[in-house]
A and B are shown apart, each in its own frame.
Chain A
Amino acid sequence: MAKLHPFTMILFSMILFFMALIYNHPLYICSILIFIVVSILLLGEGKQLKTTMKYGVYTAALILIINPLANQNGRHILYKSGKIPIIGKIKITQEALAYGGNMALKLFCILLIFLFYGLMTDRDETFSFFSKYAHKLTLTLSMTINIIHRLRLEIMRVKDVMILRGVNFQEKNLRKRMKAYYPILKVIFIASLEGSLDQAESLYARGYGKGVRTSYSQVKIKNIDYLFHGINFILLCFVVYGFFLNVGFVQFYPTFHGFDLKENIFLIYIDIILVVAILLIWGCKRWKFLRYKI
């Protein structure tokens, strides 16, 4: 699938991100989550989905534990403990568990939005997009990434030299091994700092900072970007409108209030927009006609 323009995607993921943060209605969050998961699967990146999920499991578990422990509200009590010093009595309620589960869903949602952004855009295009407005920052960042790659080679080089000189890195004793590694650290540190000055001089010699920067290529706004901007606009309108209607909120405490009809109807509108976005992604991937048009 053709990658989207960074700005389109930044706007789209920002809206999704704030939707995920603002709403605490489980159905709202679920529909955002399902939308992102389906789109990632449509893009054929199930593997990355799994690894990101793994990242999230630990924090989600933490949320699931903390919420019931910290929150004493709720009518349906599952467990009641005796007095514990400092913290006091602990009571675990069904509502608090449900709230924790809801928050864990939210967390997954937010995690996957970041992955979704990465899959829908090209990293280089994001870079060149930002370099237009913040060229010092992007220059620093791209130099950093470049140096990270170079450092790996540098470490290997220094290590080889040290081994030739008779340093034993496979020392059993941890203390001795650390002593063997320490000089590497220092050499790398000094060498890379030295290298940075060379790099600066070469940038200077090529006339960096002597005028307006030119660019080799420009990121073009394609047809699909216009379509997504349309989706962005409608979604944003709905979110703002929903904010005034005060939808997307559910009361968990003291008891779960259930789902309001008005909220469910509003959710259908949002879901229609999200389904259109999914269809668009699917179309760009599978439907030849749309693929050539876009």
Chain B
Amino acid sequence: MNYGVISVSILLISFICIFVSYERQSISVKEISLIATLSALAGVSRVPFAAIPNVQPTTFLVIISGYVFGPGFGFMVGGIATLASNVFLGQGPWTPWQMLAWGLAGFSGGILRKFFKNPSRLLLGIFAFCWGFLFDYIMNLWHWLAFVYPLTVQSFIVTYINSFYFDLMHAVGNFTFAYLFGKDFINILSRFKDRIHYTEIPNQKID
């Protein structure tokens, strides 16, 4: 069996499902434009750090937006940031995998909030650090599935050893960003969340 083909097919089908559900959601214009802005910020932040390999605040920004606005929102920010920034940086077979990895990063950020309402700087830092490794592991996975044969533990290890230093750079970069800016950015985003959400008071109460 060709695992490269199977993995790509599963990925494409799941993306279609996610995007269809996004289309069907009754999402407000303000949320759409917030997703767009956060994705743009996350996407654009890949550029200035391009000189240092694999260090970019994108992962951290995606996690934070997922943390504040919820898992679904985080996933969309991650996915759209990748799609939009790759318009400039170059689309390729890596695009869907980056979308998946960053989308999941945002999603997990939303789940983190369910367990930790008020995370410390260190916790955010460690969470982002782990995502530095996880992100590259997801990216390597396709590489391993589609281009390496046989699919054994040994070939798996060799594939991952090769990219260890890049992964480490990513993770350390993430940790730094999350440790230094995490709290500030969460506060800013929470304020915006409060601004776009409102609760309707039933008519009887006003009378």
Contacts and interface: CB of A to CB of B under 8 A. Distances in A.
Nearest to B81: A144
Contact of A140 (B80, B88, B90, B185): B80
Contacts of A182: 181
Given A87-B158, A136-B22, A110 B84 contact: no
A85 B158 CA distance: 13
Chain A at the B interface: SS class: helix
A196 B59 CA distance: 21
Interface in B111-146: 143, 146
A118 B91 contact: yes
A99 B149 contact: yes
Contacts of B35: 140
B90 A55 contact: yes
B13 interface: no
B101 interface: no
Contacts of A21: 2, 4-5, 8, 146
A188 B29 CA distance: 21
Interface centre among B22, B23, B41, B83 (most CB of A within 10 A): B41
Interface residues on A, range: 35 or more
A111 B36 contact: no
Interface string B1-31: 0101100100000000001101100011110
Contact of B195 (A59, A195, A197): A197
Contact of B157 (A87, A145, A193, A196): A87
Interface residues of B, number: 57
Nearest to B196: A197
B5 A200 contact: no
Nearest to A73: B150
B184 A66 contact: no
Contact of A143 (B22, B32, B85, B195): B32
Contacts of A148: 40, 43-44, 84-85, 88
The 9 A-B residue pairs with the shortest CB-CB distance in the complex, in nearest-first order: A70-B155, A143-B36, A147-B40, A196-B37, A200-B33, A144-B84, A200-B30, A103-B147, A196-B33
17 contacts: A66-B155, A67-B149, A86-B157, A99-B149, A103-B147, A107-B147, A114-B93, A136-B23, A140-B80, A148-B43, A151-B41, A186-B188, A189-B41, A199-B33, A200-B28, A204-B29, A209-B29
Interface of A: 18, 21-22, 52, 55, 59, 62-63, 65-67, 69-73, 86-88, 99, 103, 106-107, 110-111, 114, 118, 123, 134-137, 139-141, 143-145, 147-148, 151-152, 182, 185-186, 188-190, 192-193, 195-197, 199-201, 203-204, 208-209, 252
